[in-house]
């Protein structure tokens, strides 16, 4: 008997449509000899499954649905929601309550990695993990003086939603006068905003996943864009060169892979994650600086992870099968 897989997409953030594109990618990658797959689209309390040409409501009490041919129950949830509620632990808590296995890390890991500032504070307790200095601002609370923020973090700096992705609401601030409008823009995406010091260097990203007891890293991608930074336009409108494997020294690539595996184990992750870094310093002896950890990375045909899987000589359908079968 084939397992029935729900590819859970959509969500309540600005990344709703990006998530649906990832769901299309995952649907095309799945091993159809092993799995019957259906996309479940979530937005608020509106949960529907795409079943053939029909759009049917999902029963939230047990995550099932009823079609003309009878009731249907899922065996596994492959979560590809970017943002709330699929990347911050909320949906994971629901699936834990109903006993449904899923593709991502657990509630605590998802909540921690989604909150950039909290994740940075946790990881800074490990002295060999390098992270840029930052400040946390909350909507409704008095903001520090602009001069104080600039003195501490310097210019240019980044202003970004503390809980968000796809670079929505992110601004590279070059002057003190731009700081307040950038904070207001970021607060439209998140109740909390992080102001972060700029790190200048080579931007790279490394994906990995757990296969049995082994954490498998993929070839590293170098990110080169003509934009001010790797923003939405660069990510989704082609204004970027994504070079896999990255043009870095072999010893640097090895250290990045080791760092990625260590962070994966340290946090207790599951499924595919992608970690972004900035390399600073002399080639071959660069400092590895953590930018962000993405626990539900994009999965379109041109996204980083499918690129890296291909570069590793692996078949993406086998990777997805490893993740699903690892929960049974």
Bridge partner residues of 223 (DSSP): 203, 242
From the list 89, 136, 85, 126, the residue with the least C-alpha distance to 109 is: 89
| pLDDT value for 49 | 98
**Angstrom distances, CA of residue 3 to CA of 34, 57, 105, 139, 299:** 7, 20, 21, 45, 21
From the list 206, 193, 166, the residue with the least C-alpha distance to 81 is: 166
| pLDDT value for 167 | 63
**Can you tell me the distance from the alpha carbon of 81 to that of 60, in angstroms, rounded to the nearest whole number?**
17
By the 8 A CB rule, do 293 and 129 touch?
no
| pLDDT value for 166 | 47
| pLDDT value for 96 | 98
For residues 137, 93, 305, 112, the Cα torsion angle rounded to the nearest 10 degrees is 30
**Can you tell me the distance from the alpha carbon of 220 to that of 222, in angstroms, rounded to the nearest whole number?**
7
| pLDDT value for 225 | 77
User: What ranges make up the beta strands (E) of 61-170?
Assistant: 64-67, 70-73, 76-79, 130-131, 134-138, 157-161
**Angstrom distances, CA of residue 52 to CA of 39, 47, 59, 69, 185:** 10, 16, 18, 12, 40
**Angstrom distances, CA of residue 150 to CA of 143, 175, 176:** 13, 9, 7
The segments of the chain whose pLDDT lies below 50 read 166, 234
From the list 128, 265, 149, 248, the residue with the least C-alpha distance to 196 is: 149
Q: Six-digit token pair at 75? A: 């065996």
What kind and span of H or E run contains 262? helix 250-267
From the list 145, 146, 192, 203, the residue with the least C-alpha distance to 169 is: 192
**Can you tell me the distance from the alpha carbon of 273 to that of 296, in angstroms, rounded to the nearest whole number?**
6
What kind and span of H or E run contains 214? strand 214-217
Cα of 290 vs its chain's centroid, Å: 14
| Beta strands 76-79; 3-10: pairing state | parallel
**Can you tell me the distance from the alpha carbon of 147 to that of 103, in angstroms, rounded to the nearest whole number?**
45
């Amino acid at each position: 008997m084939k397992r029935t897989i729900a590819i859970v997409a959509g969500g309540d953030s600005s990344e709703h449509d990006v998530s649906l594109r990832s769901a299309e990618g995952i649907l095309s990658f799945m091993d159809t000899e092993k799995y019957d797959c259906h996309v479940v689209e979530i937005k608020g309390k509106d949960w529907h499954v795409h079943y053939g040409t029909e759009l049917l409501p999902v029963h939230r009490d047990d995550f099932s649905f009823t079609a003309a041919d009878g009731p249907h129950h899922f065996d596994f949830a492959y979560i590809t929601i970017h943002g709330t509620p699929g990347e911050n632990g909320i949906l994971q808590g629901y699936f834990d309550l109903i006993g449904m296995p899923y593709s991502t890390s657990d509630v605590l890991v998802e909540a921690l990695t989604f909150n950039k500032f909290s994740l940075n504070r946790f990881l800074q307790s490990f002295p060999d993990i390098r992270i840029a200095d930052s400040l946390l601002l909350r909507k409704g609370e008095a903001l520090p003086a602009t001069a104080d923020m600039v003195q501490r973090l310097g210019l240019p700096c980044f202003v970004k939603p503390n809980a968000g992705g796809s670079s929505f609401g992110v601004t590279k601030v070059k002057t003190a006068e731009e700081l307040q409008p950038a904070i207001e823009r970021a607060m439209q995406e998140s109740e909390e905003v992080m102001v972060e010091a700029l790190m200048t260097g080579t931007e790279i990203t490394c994906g990995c996943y757990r296969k049995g007891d082994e954490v498998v890293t993929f070839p590293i991608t170098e990110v080169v864009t003509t934009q001010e930074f790797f923003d939405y336009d660069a990510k989704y409108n082609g204004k970027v060169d994504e070079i896999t494997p990255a043009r870095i020294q072999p010893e640097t690539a090895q250290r990045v892979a080791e760092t990625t595996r260590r962070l994966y184990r340290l946090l207790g992750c599951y499924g595919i994650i992608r970690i972004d870094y900035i390399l600073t310093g002399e080639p071959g002896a660069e400092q590895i600086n953590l930018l962000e950890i993405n626990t539900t990375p994009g999965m379109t045909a041109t996204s980083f992870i499918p690129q890296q899987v291909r570069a590793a000589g692996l078949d993406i359908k086998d990777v997805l099968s490893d993740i699903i079968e690892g929960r049974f």
